[in-house]
Every structure is written in C-alpha cells, then in structure tokens.
C-alpha cells in the first residue's frame, strides 16, 4: 500500500480527480480464467452512486464502468474471463460543476485536505477536491467487484450502517435482508425513519453528521494472513482507515476489549463438524494476524464531512484570516456511501491475502 | 508492510522467535551520517524490557542490543554514524524456559495464535509462542530508536497508558513528566495506586486485563503522508494494529467523531506566527492522509492476554476437546509494555513517510 | 518491478492489449510542479510510431496520447504542471485488424509468447499477441516522456542503432545529429543505404533480422543508485531486458571486459574542473551500482522477430504437429523501434533512482 | 529488488561489511515444512569460500553459517524444517585485516566503488571495501541454498566458467561432472592447465583478468515468469548484473541473436512425450518473459578486479592527484568465485518467481 496502489499480489492502482474527464483503476495480478464483465461490476457501483436518494449528493453520475483490457472470451464457454493481464477500468465524470468551486480556489476548507495538499505539493486541483475527493472511491468499488469474483461465492462480504450521529441501531433487530431495502444500508428497519428525519434536519441546517459502518466477511478459511507486519487485521485496519473521513477502526470486541478480563476475551473452542467451533468471536475472526475461519467483523468511525453551509473560520492561501461556507453538492452523512466502499476494501484486502497465502503455502 | 518487513524507504525487517537463540532487526534505507550507537538504542529497550517491575513478566532478559553492521566512525567527529548500509541489530535471548511450554505443545491456547499458525503453516514453534510472541516487539523498539535518530530532536514521540480495564485516567491531571516516574506509563499520578491494586488482584486471580495506549507525535511539519493508499493515518492505523493484542485504533476524535456534527468536527484555522493555528485537533493532526503540523494523537485498544491461569475450554491438535491453564511467565496487562512499542511504531512510520516525502517532493 | 509495474518511487503501471480499445500507463509518485502536457509527450511517441517508414510495420496508428489525470494549471504560470497525483495516459488503438490473426488462434508461433502464455494462463488474447505484443511499449515511451521532464534538461538520453544483422556502424563516423535524420536511428550516415538495402531484401524474403541498440545517458551526477540489489546497472539491465525481443544487455566494456586485464579495465582518475575526470569509461558510468557522473552507456541485443512469412514447424493447441507462416503487419527489424523504447526505459530507471536517492540522502 | 533486498514473495535481505563482526541474510516468505539445516547450506558456502585454492584470495574464512530463526523440529519426522517465519542466517568474519586498508582510507581505487560511495553517502567504511565488498555474496550463497530447498530436486542449477581472459573453453568437451573436479569450475578438462598457468602469471604480475560465467537451470516447468516488467529473463538479468564486477548478461543466443535471421532464431516445436519438444534453444528457455520448460541458459561477463598491485593514477579524497597500488588479499580472477554466486542468484530468482506464479495461478 503506497501512493495510489493497494495490495501486493492482487494490486490495484487508482487514478483520477473529481472534476477531471474520468477516473479509473488498474487491477494487476488477477488470476486468469475468472468470469468478469462490465455487467458483473456495475451493480456494486450503483450502490455507491451519488444521486440515488435525497440523503446523498445530488450530483448525477451514471458511473458506467468500462473494461479496457485484461478480459477476453473464454475458449470453452465463450463468456468473458480475465486473462491474467492488467484489467483497466474507467468511469467517466459527467456532471462535474467546477464553477461551484471557485469560492474555495484560494481558501482552505477546515477539516479538508485543501491546506495539507497545498502544504505538500505547493499547488492543488481545487475543483471538487481534486484527487482528495471521495469520488476516488468509485474506482475502489469497481476494483472491489473484481476482488469479489476472485474470492468466489464462498466468501460473503456485507456492510451496514450501525450508527448515525448518536443514533445507534438495535442489534437485536438486525436483518441482513433489510440492508438493501432502505437507502441508508440499515440492518434495523425500525431506525430508518428516525435516521431519515435526522438527515432531513441536518440538510436543512446545512450541517452534516458522523456515522459508524460495520463490515463483515464470512466464509473464508482459517489460515489467511501473514505475521508480523502483514497481519490480516493490520492490513484491514490500514485499508479501512484509508477511506475518506475514517477516524477509527476496530475488530471484534475492539475498544471494548480494553475493559475485559482475559477469561472473557479468549474465544473458547469446541470440536465442530468441520474443525474448531468457537464459543464467541471477541477477536473478530483473526488471531495472531491470521484468519480463524470465523466471521471477520470490523467497525469504522466516519467523521461528519466538513463541506457544510455553516460558516467556519479559516485562512486563504496568503494566510489571511477569513470565513467560508462550502456550497457545491455534498452528502450530509458520508458514512452512508462509505458502506459499499468499506465492503470493497474488505474484498481487496482478502483477495490480496488469499493470493499471498497461496503463494507461500501452495 | 508485508510478512516481516515494515516500511518502504526506511524499511525494517525483523526475525527471531521467543525461545530461539536471538532476535533482531535489519534497518535498510537509513540515511547516512546519522549518529548511532548501542548506547543510543539501549534506553528505549530498557523501557520495554520484561522483569522491570512486578506488573510485567518476570522473565529476566537484559535485552542488550548489538549493532553488527551499517555504522562506522565519522571522519569528522570520530563518533559512530550510519553509513547508509543496512543496520543489523541483534538481541540475544537469555532466559527462555521452553519446558514451561510443553503443556501447550499439543493444545491451542484460546485467544492465541496457536491454532491459526497450525492452520496456516501445518506446524509451529510452540516454545513461548515462537514467532507470534510479543517478544518480537523488542526488535521493533530497537529499530524505532534508529527511526528516532532519523527524525531528530524536533519530532517528539511519547506514549502513555490512559486506561486499564475500565479505569481511565483523569485527563485534567495529565503530566508528561509523570509518565516515566511510574512503572505503568501513567500520565496521571493519581491513578497509579488504583491501577497497581487492580493489577495485583488480577495476578492473584491468574487473570489479565485490557488497556488503552495513547501515543502522540509532535513537532513534525505539515506535508508528510501520501494520498490515497499511503495516507499517514492509514499507515499508522496498520502499524498500531500490528502490535500484538491490538483490537482497535483511532486518531483525533476517533469513534467519538461518529456522533459529531460537521461544524464541531472541522478544525478551524487562524493565522499563527509560523503558519496556520488550528483552534482544535479533532482530526488528530492528519487531513486527507497528510500531516497538518499539529500533534498526531492516536489511541490503541489492547485486549487482555489469553495467557492466564484460569482454566479455559479448548482443543488439542487432534481436535479433541480439552481444557487449558497457561503457565509460563506472562504480563497481566500487556498494554503496559505496548506503550514503548506503540512509540516505536509511530517513529518507524514517520521516518518512512519522511523519506518518501523527501523523495517525491525534494 | 513486477507484473505490469516498473519503479519504486517513480512508479509506472501499464495496461492494454494490441487489439483492445486502448492502452495506457499510470505514472505514480511524480513530483509536483513539473511542466507536462500532451504536446510534450507526443514527439517521443511519434518516434516509436508504426507506419512512419517502409522499414517498420505499416499498421497506421496515430498514437495520440491523452492525459486523463494528474495535471493542472499552475497558479503562477498558468501552464499545465503535474500535481503529484497519478498521471493517467491513454492511447487508443485505431488500426487493429484482428482477423489477420485467426490463423494463429490455435497455433503457437515459434519464438513467440503464444505457447508460454497458454502454458501459464490457460488462455490468451491471441489478437495481435494481446498483452505480449510490443505495442505495449507505446505506454513505456509515453511514461518515459514524463520521466524526462522529471530529470530535466541536464540529463540527456539518446539511443541509436549500432548494428543490423552483422552490419555494424563505423564508430569513427558517429554523429549524434545524424540519428534523427534517417529512419533507422543510425548515427553513421554511411551505413544507412546498406542497411536499407538489407531490410528491403529481408522484407522481400518474408524474413527478419536482429540488431543492437546503444543507449547513452549523460549529465547525471555522481551518486545515483543503490547497493546491493538496487544497483543502477542491475536495474538498467532488468529494464532493458524487459524490452520485447531483448536477449542481451551490457554496460561500458560489457562482454569485452572478460578479455581485459585489471590495469586496462580500471578507469583512472585525474582532477577535473568539477570533480574527478576519468581517463576512460570501461565501467559505463557506474561503479558499485552507483553513478560516477560519466556517461552511462549500454548496448542491448535484439533478436529477429519470429513473425515471419517463412514457414516454420510448430504445434497447435492440441499438441498436433503443424506448420505456420505468420501474416499480419510486422517489423522486419524490431530493433529499429526498440531505440526509443530503450531511451524510455533509461529515463524511467533514472527518474526512479533519482527520487530514491533524494529520499535516502536528502 | 531494492536497496539490500531481493525478491517479492521469497524475499532476501542481506547485511554486513567485509570487516565487520559478521554478515548475514534474512529469508522471508519461505514456505513452511521445507527441510533445512546448517548442514544443508554449508556445502554451497564451501564452494564460494576464499582460501580454497591458490587462485582465489588467501583470506582464511571458515564461512560457517548459523541458522538463528525460522527452523523447528518437524512433528512427524523430527528433522528440522522451515516454519514459514523469517530465516536468519549469520556468518562471522574471522580473518579481516583492516590495517591492510589504511592505504586506501583517503584514496579512491580506480574501478572500485570507493569514489561513488563517498559521492553518495559522504563517508564510507573503507575496511576491505565495507558494504561494497564481494564478501556480501557469501550471504547470497547461503540464501540461495534455502532457495534450492524450495525448488526441490526437480530443478537443477549449475554454473561453470567458460572463459578466462580471451581463453574460452571447447564446448564440445563439456562435462558437467568435470566442473567440481577442478578449482576453476571449468567444464572442459583440457583447458584447466592453460588457465592455471595464465592465472599464475597474472598473480606474479600483480594483475587480474576478466572471465565469463555460464549458469543453467533445468527441470523447471513451462509457465514461470510474469509479463511485462516482471519477466523471468528481465529479473534474471537484473539479478546477474547485481553480482559484483558483472558488466554484461545474455540469455540463449544473446548478443549473437543480433546477427541472426528470423527463421534461424525461432525455436521450432514438435510434439514430445510430455508436451512440446523444441528443436533449438536460441531463446534460452524464456519466451515473452515466461519459461518454456527448456533449460534456462545465461552468460555473465565479469570484469577483472581493480584491486591490483600495478600502479594506477587516481585522486585522494581532497581531489589531489596521486597514484595507488592495491595491496590486501585479492582474487586475480573474481569470475571464479562468481560461479556459485551466479547459481545462487538463479536459485533466488526462480524460487521467487515460483511462489509468485503459485500465488497468481494457484
């Protein structure tokens, strides 16, 4: 993981700015013979797409993906499969309104990367946040769809929103089926109305809110991951923290583990039909950096976006004190669209660790 | 970061098992001309050393570091400095008692890497946990001392313990000077007695407890870090989660950011003497993956060790149900010795990002 | 260097097949503020373009490059400069005639990657060689143009053809100015007619010929390169050998050094105006893997292409014996168009080592 | 490959200076369960050891390897096997005579890395060449022995010396068995006496000579290697050029391919018992960067060492003109001991590509 690349064996490099002509991803190291087509990728992009409900940015982007390389007809089935060559995925930007951003050309939005990009690079593409825009995550989701194909049906990855502001779901009401039935990825049908009301109020206030995403992978075998610096949970933590606006990451019991005693935290084992059966999952499916075969369960804290209409104090590029109200089209809760992005990062990390495991162990 | 290596430009590779003859680290890519000697490294190792108080493992390890390469007399000063060649650091194991571990040879300790190592590799060095032992972190601390020399005096890194079990410090009582005055790295003198009593009780119970470590780096300039997958906070999250027993990581406001509104979370800016002055630090010194020049503040949740005398249910290597009580010499709260390790990981990450920044930007 | 990526700090990833819709390169890690535009890249592509003389493939490809990301207007000059974000370069394929390749769909061309791709991947995009086609080198040349901008005017890189078949140039007749005056990149005006006659005859015979490319970089300072496995000459050797059809690489005296005595091979030093003046350059500008400040001089042996009309014995994909005559549009001497590619690989290697040097040394 | 590390999945990092206390290698990513012991590594080191004949350096180094980590008793056989953890190999320096090098403390030996290390790092460990010494190759040979264990008995790697000065072997007299019967690794018994006489004369003259090493790997399957920048031949070229004093590398027909016609260079195929049978091997066992299953045959040009007693002109570190005669204990033909080193680099490259192949393809 460095610069704009993620992964070692299954390696993704993304490119593109929020208001440039297009953005994309190169997936390198993908095994050959894996079924892949634009139709298999598109549904995942549609889940992340702006403009899909009143609770996300109204920017109208069809986010149609094109596969430019790395896929060819299979001799046997005639269907398109990966060839082992790099897969180039491209998504055009259609609804960029750069003039909305003239106001921030010479000011730094507090809580944004505006100042740090200027500090590092000496210049920045200010249109829509340029490279620092969360629009880059479309490329992650597209690449994540390829990773899902590599992992196959046995591995299931699903994310959900478990908290908006201080409004947490009722975990006893959890329903996987519910997640895709509401525009907020809530697994708890009872809280959807409350959340929608809260978001409507925030939008009227010109404000925004934080949230907590939970993402779970099930069905992977025991043994994936690498000690010591390539630990599965360490790489997942890095992957999740690379999501725009992420401020915290935990696995299994997470921060609650700090208050536990050893006899409560250890996940006891009994003999199951296909290997160990664990009596709890406080470790979130990873021990010593290697998967146990249990569900991998992570939570990611997402801060409220700083692109708000409420006036805030800031500086201009000449270090003069000023104030700013951010216009443009923004999500009042970026945590919503972070759900499919967190799923994608889970898929990318697992696909990479899978291939690395296969390389070392056979 | 992969396998047993950490970093890209300032790259550390560690080796060694808990009960092997020695362990060590190779530091590759270190700039030349940096003062370095065993005497400069040793004090950091002494802070992490077992046997230093009744609250940590009684294993007696002097943890004397030897520098085997990469350092030479400076022509000008005559003192030892780095040459730019790889620095080999070695620490001998002196007090390994492998027979303590015969009991776990054929059983998997719940909450430990015993099962996952067997699942991945088909065999494991069970003596003291082998490669999965937290003893590996001695090599991190030694390498971290080299990273500190690279960063220089301007960058200060200090860790502290802010919670043991459910006993949190009083943040208003924070004193940096206090941290090294008590064996628990507490910045709050008032809680030390309470914590010691709690730890004494746990030791009597044969149990253990979780904790929360906080680590802060100050004095680094704005501009370090890389977008998108090499974000400073993402790499720090991965680094901290690679610490044994870590289950959660947060930066700045962390999980509390989920409940915040945008106008509260954005760190407003005013004109300071040497650049921007931020009116708060909810982002923990990183925006868009790049340092703001503020303090970088992280917290790491450490689970209670599973090496406890309380009997737990588990399996043997033939998948027969059994129970286990872990003997051997263990820390009732591994969070204590995680403090210098978290500092080391902060130093390693920053040194690497510093050199990468210098490479791209000049 | 792995899979489809080249370089560590200045990292290029290429994608695309010979007969796919397009091909391209992502340049990641480029320093910010470097002037860059399509107009600055295009001339280098034009030198490599097919269809430019009767001695190269008649495929008509305009090879127009598009910059899709990573470049923005400079606040100060208004001209386009790099932003530090990944630079996405794309070139569309316009004149692919895939039906020419139906004949090789089920046969392996001897001397080609057809068999090895099938052996590795289990399938291949046979149209024009797919990913194994030398058409991929267009992406290298485009990325190499970015690398030249990073290196700046002080570093000059120029390649030439010094041998076609067994017809070697007269080195005493060397003229840098001549190289771009003839379609064969010959520095010796006297041999051009001979070479053209030889190539015309080969084309009539339906055959092909090998060649030797020489590439030289001048103007770089002493000190670039890394010991032991990152040696400048080792990375250049790998870079040059990655050029399609390359079978040998040498630097300085190269293979002739085998027959030399120590006193003749050592490049003696005298005091020059700006540092050492070397009395010879048998080491080709690199000692111990690090640049001396002298010219870096390399030669690359290019084999004759196996895409010839002469009938050769081979197998089909069912391992039946058969014969093949390769039609399609091919270069009788792929060494010609390897000249700009070798220059590009030199530029990419040097730009990467430059940034790595700056990272470690400052 | 960068700095002091080689390989991606099977990754070797070496450390140590010629006159430091020790040198070593860390092998990371090794598959578990591979038989490994000091006794399995030592014979390969003994082949490279100085002091073994009058034709190599008289420095007396037993080069006894110690395995410090990564190996444990196998539950089933009781013999030592790899555990999947990093393997730390250490060799002590016993016979360093640093005072021999006082003369070169302030002078740069022409043709050596003395000047370039000073230019890059601003200082150097001048004792015996420090990190730039060929003594580092002992660590490569030790790591190469681990790689051979990973490759197994099916893959055979053998190097030989095929030319000393301008005295080339008679290829018709080639005998694999002969190679280990003479101290010069000659496959041609008839030339050994001639070579010995030539070397004796060079030693009397205080001079040195170049040589050509040939290294061949047989028994590997078709399909190893990666396009485009991870080509097997490209990585081998980089690996071989990283050997001290290497100035040229070729594979298969090599530089002779430049003078060939297409119909002669293409290796025709017929149906063999276990897949294709190639009628020639001009491509040296690699097509499109991927192995064909044929022998991989490479030649490496080694320059004469510049450590000679003949007086040469040079500069001191203050850029004053002076002369130098290199004393110390040196090989008159470093090509001899380059033979086991080239074998090791072949083994390391193949082991790495094998694991990477297994990772991507399964």
Structure ipTM: 0.97
Lowest mean pLDDT among A97-111, B154-168, C271-285, D282-296: A97-111
First to last CA, chain D: 24
At which residue do the structure tokens 């919503």 appear? A336
D361 in contact with chain A, both atoms CB, cutoff 8 A? yes
B9 in contact with chain A, both atoms CB, cutoff 8 A? no
A4 in contact with chain B, both atoms CB, cutoff 8 A? yes
At which residue do the structure tokens 């999947």 appear? D84
Give the separation between CA D248 and CA D260, rounded to whole angstroms: 20
Find chain A residues with C-beta within 8 A of D362's C-beta. 31, 358
Q: Which among B60, B61, B82 has a CA at the least distance from the CA of B71? A: B82
* Per-residue tokens: D205: 């003259």
Q: Which helix (H) or strand (E) holds D72?
A: strand D71-73
Contact assignment for B2 to A230 by CB distance below 8 Å: yes
What are the tens digits of pLDDT across the range C304-346?
998 888 999 999 999 999 999 887 667 899 999 999 999 999 9
D120 in contact with chain A, both atoms CB, cutoff 8 A? no
Contact assignment for D360 to A355 by CB distance below 8 Å: yes
pLDDT at A255 exceeding the cut of 90: yes
Between A170 and C100, whose confidence is greater? A170
Task: Cite the beta strand spans of chain C per DSSP E.
Answer: 5-6, 11-16, 22-28, 65-67, 71-73, 80-82, 87-92, 156-164, 167-168, 211-218, 246-251, 269-272, 275-278, 286-287, 290-291, 296-302, 312-315, 321-324
Q: Which among A290, A350, A236 has a CA at the least distance from the CA of B238? A: A236
The answer to whether the CB of B231 falls within 8 A of the CB of A242 is: yes
pLDDT at position C329 is: 67
Contact assignment for C361 to B8 by CB distance below 8 Å: no
Taking the CA of residue D144 and the nearest CA in chain A, the distance in Å comes to 17
Contact assignment for C247 to D253 by CB distance below 8 Å: yes
Q: Which among C337, C242, C357 has a CA at the least distance from the CA of C289? A: C357
Under the banding of pLDDT at 50, 70 and 90, the label for residue B1 is: low
A105 in contact with chain C, both atoms CB, cutoff 8 A? no
Of D244, D252, D265, the CB nearest to C304: D265
pLDDT at position D1 is: 55
DSSP C140: H
A38 in contact with chain C, both atoms CB, cutoff 8 A? no
User: Would you say the C-alpha torsion D116, D117, D118, D120 has a positive or negative sign?
Assistant: positive
Of A111, A223, A253, the CB nearest to B303: A253
Contact assignment for C303 to D258 by CB distance below 8 Å: yes
Contact assignment for B287 to A112 by CB distance below 8 Å: yes
A319 in contact with chain B, both atoms CB, cutoff 8 A? yes
pLDDT at position B4 is: 96
Question: What mean pLDDT do residues C127-147 have?
Answer: 95
A119 in contact with chain B, both atoms CB, cutoff 8 A? yes
Of B8, B31, B360, the CB nearest to C84: B360
A32 in contact with chain C, both atoms CB, cutoff 8 A? yes
pLDDT at position B25 is: 98
Mutate to test the interface with D, among B18, B87, B122, B143 (most CBs of D within 10 A): B122
Find chain D residues with C-beta within 8 A of A353's C-beta. none
Contact assignment for D16 to B72 by CB distance below 8 Å: no
Cβ-proximal residues to A230 (8 Å cutoff; 6+ apart), any chain: A289, A353, A356, B1, B2, B3, B4
Task: Indicate the Cα dihedral angle D324, D326, D332, D336, nearest 10°.
Answer: -110
D327 in contact with chain C, both atoms CB, cutoff 8 A? no
Contact assignment for C84 to B361 by CB distance below 8 Å: yes
Subunits with 3+ Cβ pairs within 8 Å of B are A, C, D
Question: What mean pLDDT do residues C6-31 have?
Answer: 97
pLDDT at A128 exceeding the cut of 90: no
Of C28, C69, C130, the CB nearest to A16: C69
Lowest mean pLDDT among A171-175, A326-330, D55-59, D292-296: A326-330
Contact assignment for B268 to A314 by CB distance below 8 Å: yes
pTM summary value? 0.97
Find chain C residues with C-beta within 8 A of D201's C-beta. none
pLDDT at position C1 is: 55
Ramachandran angles phi, psi of A313, nearest 5°: -80, 140
Planar angle of CA D234, D236, D237, nearest 5 degrees: 65
D254 in contact with chain C, both atoms CB, cutoff 8 A? yes
Contact assignment for A258 to B14 by CB distance below 8 Å: no
Give the separation between CA C1 and CA D2, rounded to whole angstroms: 10
Find chain A residues with C-beta within 8 A of B117's C-beta. 288, 290
B163 in contact with chain D, both atoms CB, cutoff 8 A? no
Between B60 and D190, whose confidence is greater? D190
Taking the CA of residue D220 and the nearest CA in chain A, the distance in Å comes to 17
Find chain C residues with C-beta within 8 A of B9's C-beta. 9, 356, 359-360
What are the tens digits of pLDDT across the range B231-245?
999 999 999 999 999
Under the banding of pLDDT at 50, 70 and 90, the label for residue B151 is: very high
The answer to whether the CB of D29 falls within 8 A of the CB of D11 is: yes
Give the separation between CA B277 and CA B253, rounded to whole angstroms: 18
D-chain residue closest to B21, CA distance = D68
Ramachandran angles phi, psi of D28, nearest 5°: -115, 140
Check residue C38 and give left, alpha or beta (phi > 0: left; psi -120 to 50: alpha).
alpha
The answer to whether the CB of B83 falls within 8 A of the CB of D124 is: yes
A68 in contact with chain C, both atoms CB, cutoff 8 A? yes
Contact assignment for D358 to A358 by CB distance below 8 Å: yes
The answer to whether the CB of D110 falls within 8 A of the CB of D311 is: no
Under the banding of pLDDT at 50, 70 and 90, the label for residue D328 is: low
Under the banding of pLDDT at 50, 70 and 90, the label for residue D226 is: very high
B-chain residue closest to C28, CA distance = B360
Find chain D residues with C-beta within 8 A of B33's C-beta. 121-123
pLDDT at C76 exceeding the cut of 80: no
pLDDT at position B49 is: 83
pLDDT at A101 exceeding the cut of 80: no
Angle between helices D114-121 and C334-361 (to 10 degrees): 60
pLDDT at B48 exceeding the cut of 90: no
Of B11, B15, B83, the CB nearest to D69: B15
Contact assignment for C359 to B356 by CB distance below 8 Å: yes
pLDDT at C169 exceeding the cut of 60: yes
C159 in contact with chain A, both atoms CB, cutoff 8 A? no
The answer to whether the CB of B276 falls within 8 A of the CB of A315 is: yes
C-chain residue closest to D332, CA distance = C262
The answer to whether the CB of A285 falls within 8 A of the CB of A295 is: yes
Taking the CA of residue A224 and the nearest CA in chain D, the distance in Å comes to 13
* Per-residue tokens: B47: 């802070």
The radius of gyration of chain C from alpha carbons, rounded to an integer in Å, stands at 21
Give the separation between CA C235 and CA A116, rounded to whole angstroms: 34
Planar angle of CA D101, D103, D104, nearest 5 degrees: 70
Contact assignment for A33 to C123 by CB distance below 8 Å: yes
Find chain D residues with C-beta within 8 A of B23's C-beta. 69
Contact assignment for A238 to B240 by CB distance below 8 Å: no
Find chain C residues with C-beta within 8 A of A16's C-beta. 68-69, 86, 88
Give the separation between CA B70 and CA B80, rounded to whole angstroms: 10
Size of interface C-D (CB pairs under 8 A): 392
Question: Hey, which residues 221-250 in chain D have their CB within 8 Å of chain A?
Answer: 227
Check residue A130 and give left, alpha or beta (phi > 0: left; psi -120 to 50: alpha).
left
B-chain residue closest to A230, CA distance = B2
pLDDT at B328 exceeding the cut of 80: no
Taking the CA of residue C317 and the nearest CA in chain D, the distance in Å comes to 10
């Amino acid at each position: 993981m460095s610069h704009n690349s993620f992964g070692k064996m299954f390696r993704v490099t993304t490119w593109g700015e929020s208001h440039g002509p297009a953005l994309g991803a190169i997936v390198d190291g993908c095994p050959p013979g894996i079924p892949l087509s634009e139709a298999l990728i598109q549904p995942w992009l549609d889940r992340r797409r702006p403009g899909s409900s009143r609770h996300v940015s109204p920017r109208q982007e069809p986010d149609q993906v094109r596969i430019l390389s790395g896929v060819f007809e299979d001799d046997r089935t005639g269907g398109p499969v990966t060839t082992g060559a790099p897969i180039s995925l491209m998504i055009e930007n259609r609804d960029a309104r750069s003039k909305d951003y003239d106001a921030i050309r010479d000011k730094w939005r507090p809580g944004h990367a505006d100042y740090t990009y200027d500090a590092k690079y000496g210049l920045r593409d200010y249109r829509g946040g340029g490279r620092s825009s969360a629009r880059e995550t479309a490329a992650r989701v597209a690449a994540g769809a390829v990773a899902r194909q590599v992992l196959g049906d046995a591995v299931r990855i699903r994310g959900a929103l478990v908290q908006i502001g201080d409004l947490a779901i009722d975990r006893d009401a959890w329903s996987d089926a519910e997640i895709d039935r509401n525009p907020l990825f809530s697994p708890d049908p009872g809280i959807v109305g409350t959340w929608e009301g809260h978001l409507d109020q925030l939008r009227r206030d010109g404000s925004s809110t934080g949230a907590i995403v939970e993402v779970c992978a099930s069905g992977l075998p025991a043994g994936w991951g690498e000690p010591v610096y390539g630990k599965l949970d360490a790489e997942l933590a890095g992957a999740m923290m690379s999501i725009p606006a992420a401020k915290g990451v935990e696995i299994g019991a997470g921060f609650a583990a700090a208050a536990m005693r050893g006899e409560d935290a250890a996940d006891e084992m009994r003999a199951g039909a296909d290997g160990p059966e664990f009596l709890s999952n406080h470790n979130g499916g990873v021990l010593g950096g290697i998967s146990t075969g249990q569900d991998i369960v992570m939570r990611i804290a997402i801060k409220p976006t700083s692109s708000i209409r409420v006036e805030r104090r800031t500086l201009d590029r000449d270090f003069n004190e000023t104030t700013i109200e951010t216009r443009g089209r923004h999500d009042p809760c970026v945590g919503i669209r972070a759900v499919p992005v967190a799923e994608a990062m889970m898929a990318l990390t697992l696909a990479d660790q899978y291939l690395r495991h296969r390389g070392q162990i056979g």
